[in-house]
Homo-oligomer: A and B are copies of this chain.
Amino acid sequence: MAETQGATVDRVRLAPFGDALGFLLRLAQIDSFERFFADLGHLDLRPGELTVIVLLEGNPGVRQGVLAEALKIKRAHMAKMVRALGEAGLIRREVPEDDRRAVELYLTEAGATLARRLRPAVTAHEARTPATLTPAETATLKRLLRKYLALTDPEGTTP
């Protein structure tokens, strides 16, 4: 009864996962996700939808398959998301003349308005350094993650 939580015998030996990169990445991603939605959860958008809306602002007319590839989500999933966003009146889908299989995505007026509302919140969130890291350490962490991903371009363009 001395212990108020997590109590009992514990301390779990996490070996051989305690120092595994994949495990650390998973915990870090959970934490980062929680931080993200602590900041932005009040807008009732799902994570994927928020990402698509904000990215469409900088990529008008992008093909949904291309966007899916950049975000590492499956085309089937993107199709569902795009339909939902279309039904919500946030995006518009256009079939280009030169390839009538494809679909190009654009924000509607409502979507653009939402994107403008979202962007500052997203930017503010990202400017914040995690409490446990110095700004220099955060920069190093990001640089190493980009190198790990072979994503050398810090400008935000996929190769």
Q: Which A residues fall within an 8 A CB radius of B?
A: 6, 8-22, 24-33, 35-36, 51, 54-55, 58-59, 62-63, 66-67, 69-70, 72, 99, 102, 119, 122-123, 126, 130, 132-133, 137-138, 140-142, 144-151, 153-159
Contacts and interface: CB of A to CB of B under 8 A. Distances in A.
A32 B28 contact: no
The winner among A29, A132, A150 for most chain B CB atoms within 10 A is: A29
Contacts of A132: 147-150
29 contacts: A8-B102, A10-B70, A11-B158, A12-B59, A13-B59, A13-B157, A14-B55, A14-B156, A15-B155, A16-B119, A17-B156, A19-B126, A20-B126, A21-B32, A21-B130, A22-B36, A24-B142, A24-B145, A24-B149, A26-B32, A27-B151, A28-B145, A28-B148, A28-B149, A29-B29, A30-B72, A31-B149, A132-B148, A141-B144
Copies in the complex: 2
A48 to B, nearest CB: 11
B155 A18 contact: yes
Given A141-B145, A147-B133, A156 B25 contact: no
Contacts of A130: 21, 148
